[in-house]
Amino acid sequence: MEDRNRQEQASPEVQARVRASFDSQGLMGHLGARITHIAPGRVHIVLPGRPEVTQQHGYFHAGATSAVADSAGGYAAFTLFPENTEVLTVEYKINLLAPAVGDHIEAVGTVLKSGRTLTVCQLEVFGVQDSGRKLVANGQQTLIRVDRTPGR
C-alpha cells in the first residue's frame, strides 16, 4: 500500500506551487530539509542527520523533528487548496515516541479531514537507517486556509 501511495503524484501545477512555497521557507533550507514526495493530501520531507540538527544526546532535536513534521502537514493540506490561498498552522501536538536516530528522518504529513476552513492532518516521523525505518514521532495538526487578498 505504501508503494501504491508513493506512486500517486499531485498535478504538476500543485507540485510547482508547493515547491515554490517550500523553497521560500528559510528554515527548511537552513536545516537542510528537502521535499521528496508530493501526493494529493500527502507530503514527505526528508532531513539528513548532522550536528546542526541535534539535541544534547546527539539525537535529532525534537524541534527539528517537529519543524519538518509541521511543514509536511502544512504542505499536505496545501495540495488540496485552490489557487490564491495560503495555509497557516493553527496548532499541533506531537509525541516523541523514541530517540530520533538515523541517517535521516522522514516526515510524512497526511490529510485526515479537509474542510472549507480547517484541515486536520496526521503527522508521522520515521528514523531511517540501513537497518530499517522506525516511527519516532507521531502527531496531529490543525491548519487554516486563508484567502490571499488580491493585490498583495
Footprint of a copy of itself on this chain (CB under 8 A)? 21-22, 24-31, 50-57, 61-64, 66-68, 70-71, 86, 88-98, 112-113, 117-118, 120, 122, 135, 138-140, 142, 144
Q: How far is the CB of 124 from a copy of itself (least distance, A)?
A: 10
| CA dist., res. 143 & res. 119, Å (int) | 5
Q: How far is the CB of 105 from a copy of itself (least distance, A)?
A: 13
Q: How far is the CB of 74 from a copy of itself (least distance, A)?
A: 8
Q: How far is the CB of 25 from a copy of itself (least distance, A)?
A: 5
Closer CB to a copy of itself, 15 or 138, in the complex: 138
| CA dist., res. 140 & res. 112, Å (int) | 9
CA 76 to chain centre: 7
Q: How many CB atoms lie within 10 A of CB 86?
A: 14
Closer CB to a copy of itself, 39 or 73, in the complex: 73
Percent helix, strand, coil in the chain, to 5, is 30, 45, 30
| CA dist., res. 24 & res. 28, Å (int) | 9
Closer CB to a copy of itself, 40 or 96, in the complex: 96
